[in-house]
Chains A and B, each alone.
Chain A
Amino acid sequence: MPSAEQEEITTTVASFLAARMPATAHASVFVTPGAEIDSALFRECAELGWLSLGLPERFGGVGYGLAEEAMLFRELGRGLAPGGFLPGVLGARVAAFAGDADLAASIVSGSVQVALATRDTTDTDDVSVLHAAEASLVVVCDAASAALYSIADCALAPIDPVDGSVRIARGTLGGSVIASVAADLDPVFIRGLVLCAAMQAGTAEAQCELGVAYAKVREQFGKPIGANQAIKHRCADMAVRAEGAFSQVCYAATALDGGAEGFAEEAIIAKYYADEAARLNGEASVQIHGAIGFTTETLPHRHVWRAHTMARALAVRPALLDALVPRP
C-alpha cells in the first residue's frame, strides 16, 4: 500500500494534469500534425521533477525510489498525458550512469527530449519509436543493457499512429551509441517495464472508473444498466484486474527498490499483467458504454488506443511470457 508521501505524488500530478493537459474525448492533438506536447509545457513538467523523481541525488535527481516514480506514471496513464516522459526518465538514467552528467542534466531539464525505441524483432536494428516527433535522442534497452542514439543518425519515417497522442516513427537504428549502461550497473529495462506497467495500470483503472460511472447513470428498461448482473459482473472483473495490475506494480517497484532477489521476474509479470488488464478493461468499458463508446464523444476509445500502443513498448506479451518460463 502506498505511503502518505506516495499518495501526495498522485494528488499533485493528477491535479496538474487536470488543470494543464486534461484528457478530452475530442482531443485536437490526435488530428493536428506537429508537436505531441508543447515544449514549454514539457519543460514545466520537467521542473516539477517528472523526469528526475527516481534519479539518484548525486546525478541531480530527486532521489526517490521506483515506487514513487511508479505513482507518477500511473497518473500519466490514467490522465492520458502526452509526451515522452517514460523515455526521458530512462534516457536520463543511461546518460547519468554512463558518466555524461551534462547530457543527463539536459534531459532532466526537458530541453532535450528522448524517444523510446522497441526492436521489432530481437535480432535486428529495425525499431518502432514512440514519442518520436520532438525527440533528438532515442533510448533502446533490453535485459542486458540500455543505450542512447542520436535520432538524426537513425533512418526513421513517421507513420499515422493508431493513438494520435503518441507520435510514432519506424525504421532502423543508426549511428554510434552516444551513451550506454549495462543492466548490472542500472537495470534500465526492468525499471522501464515497471513504469510502463504503472501507466497501463492507470489506464486499466481509468477504464474501470469510466465503465462503472456510465453503468450508474445510463438507464434502460427503467433502471441503471449497472443493476444488471451482466454489466455489474463485467465491472467487478475490471476492478479485480485494475487492483491486480497496480498491486503487482507496487510489489515489483518495492522489490527493486529493496534489492530483493527476483525483482526482474516481478517486473516482467507487472508489464504482462498490466498490458492484459488495460486491454481487457478497454474491451469491457467500450462494451458497457455501448454505441456511445464506439464514438469519439467519450473517453474509452482513447484509453483503448493508448493501451494498444504501450503494450508494444519495451517488450510484448509472448516475449514477456517466454522470459518468465524459458524454453529448455
Chain B
Amino acid sequence: MDLSFTQGELAFRDEVRTWLHENVPREPRPHGDRPDSREFDLAWQKAQHDGGWAGISWPAEFGGRGLSTIQQLIWYEEYAMADAPWIGACFVGVNHGGPTLIARASDEQKAFHLPKILKGEVVWCQGFSEPGAGSDLAAIRTRGVVDGDELVVNGQKIWTSFANMAEYQELLIRTGDEQRHKGLTWVICDMRTPGITVRPISTMDRGAEFCEVFYDDVRIPLTNVVGQVGDGWSVAMSTLTLERGTGFMADIMHATRSIDELIDECRTRRGPDGRPVLKDDEYARRLAAAKAEITVLRSITYRSISRNIRTGMPGPEGSMLRLQYGDLVMGLSRLAIEILGPDALEYIDRFRVGGWTGNWLRTFAAGFGGGTLEIQRNIIGERVLGLPRG
C-alpha cells in the first residue's frame, strides 16, 4: 500500500479541487418526485462533460477521462469533500450500463449510446430485479421470445430506479429454456416502446425514484441485444472486472464528512441535560467509535484497491465492504437522530443541510440494496471462507 502521491498526482488533485470548487451546484438536489430532479442530474452530468470530467473511469477512446486508479480515487475523495451532488438518475448510465456497453457492445451500439450518456442527454435505468428475483438474481422470469428480427418481452421488473424518467434500460430477460444463469439475454430497451407501463413505488423515506415496470408484448429489435442471445449473464457480470472499488470511496468519504460534521456540531449542540453533547461520555465515545469504524472501512477500501492494482482483478472484499458499510451507515444515522433529540421529530430530506431524518429513513435500504446483508454474509462465508452451502 502506497499512500504517498507523486507530484503529478498532487497537481491533479489541485486541478480537481479547483474545478469542483468552481462548478459544483450551490443549490441542493431536488428530492422525491419533483420533476426537476431529472433536469438537475442531467445538467450536472452535462457540466462535468463540458469541463472534461465525464466518465472518469471510462477509457479515453470512448469519450471518457481514462483516469488511473489512483486518479479516480483522488477524484472521488475531492468529489465528496466538495459536497458535490449525488449522481442520481445518471448512475446506471455512467456507472453500470455504459461500462457494460464498453465491455460487450457492438461498435454501432457504442457509437450511438455512449456519447449520449456522457453528455447527460439520456437517463438509463436497470431492469434486473423482479418480485421473485431479488438477492437471487438468477431466478428472473421475465421472458423474451424471438419473433423474426424482434424479441417479444412479457413480465415484470421491480426496484427500477428512475424508470419513470429514463429513455433506456439495461434489461435482463430469460430467452431460453435453461435454468438459472443460462438462457438469459441482456438487451437495450427503449422505455418509450409501446407495451411498457411504469408505476412509481412510494418509499418510507419519501423517495420516488423506485418503480415497477410491466412489459406487455413489448417488441425490441434483436439489434439491441448486447453480446449474444443466451449470453446475458456474462454480459451482466462483465462490469465486475472493470470495477476497482474506487467508486465506493465517494460513499466512504461522504460518510467520513458526515461524522466529522456531526462531531463538530456536538461541541455546541445541547443534549438532554443541557450540556454540550460532547461533554457526555456515552455520546462522545459512540461518536468516536463511529469515526473509527468508518476510518477502518476506508483502510479496507485502500487495501482492496491496492490489491486490485497489483493483481488486475477485484478481490473478495467487495462483499465485506458492502456489509460493513451497510451496518455502519445505519448505526451512524441512528446515533445522529438520537443526538438530534426533539429536532429529529421533523422530516428533512437527505439532500438538505441537517437532513438526518431523511438520511436515517433512507439507510433502512442499506440493509438490502444490491443484495441483502444476509446474502453478503453468505457470499463471504462460502466464496471467501469456503464454508459449505446450506
Q: Interface on A for B, CB 8 Å cutoff?
A: 1-2, 67, 212, 215-216, 223-224, 226-229, 231-233, 235-237, 239-240, 243-245, 247-248, 250-251, 254-255, 258, 260, 266, 269, 272-273, 318, 321-322, 324-325, 327-328
Contact = CB atoms under 8 A, between A and B. Distances in A.
B390 A232 contact: yes
28 contacts: A216-B388, A224-B387, A227-B389, A227-B390, A232-B381, A232-B387, A233-B381, A235-B381, A236-B323, A236-B376, A236-B378, A236-B380, A236-B385, A243-B320, A244-B299, A244-B324, A248-B299, A250-B1, A251-B298, A251-B299, A251-B302, A254-B3, A260-B3, A272-B292, A273-B292, A321-B288, A321-B289, A327-B278
Contacts of B306: 1
A243 B323 CA distance: 12
A114 B91 CA distance: 57
A247 B303 contact: yes
Contacts of B7: none
A325 B280 CA distance: 11
B386 interface: yes
A23 to B, nearest CB: 21
A250 B317 CA distance: 16
Interface string B1-38: 11110000000000000000000000000000000000
B180 interface: no
A1 B1 CA distance: 5
Given A244-B324, A325-B287, A328-B278, A237 B377 contact: yes
B295 interface: yes
Contact of B388 (A67, A227, A247, A266): A227
Interface residues of B, number: 47
A322 B284 contact: yes
A285 to B, nearest CB: 13
A232 B1 contact: no
A317 to B, nearest CB: 8
Given A254-B2, A328-B276, A235 B385 contact: yes
A61 B2 CA distance: 23
Nearest to A231: B387
Nearest to A224: B388
B368 to A, nearest CB: 15
B110 interface: no
B65 interface: no
Contacts of B384: 236, 239
A269 B292 contact: yes
Contacts of B174: none
Contacts of B310: 1
A1 B307 contact: yes
Counting from the closest, the 10 A-B pairs by CB-CB distance are: A232-B381, A236-B380, A321-B288, A236-B377, A251-B299, A226-B387, A247-B299, A325-B288, A324-B288, A233-B377
B291 interface: yes
A251 B3 contact: yes
A279 to B, nearest CB: 14
B279 interface: yes
A216 B296 contact: no
A104 B268 CA distance: 48
Contacts of A327: 278-279, 284
B162 to A, nearest CB: 31
B382 to A, nearest CB: 7
A209 B289 CA distance: 26
Query: Which of A228, A251, A269, A325 counts the most chain B CB atoms within 10 A?
Result: A325
Given A269-B295, A273-B296, A223 B388 contact: yes
A97 to B, nearest CB: 24
Contacts of A236: 323, 376-378, 380-381, 384-385
B101 interface: no
B374 interface: yes
B135 to A, nearest CB: 13
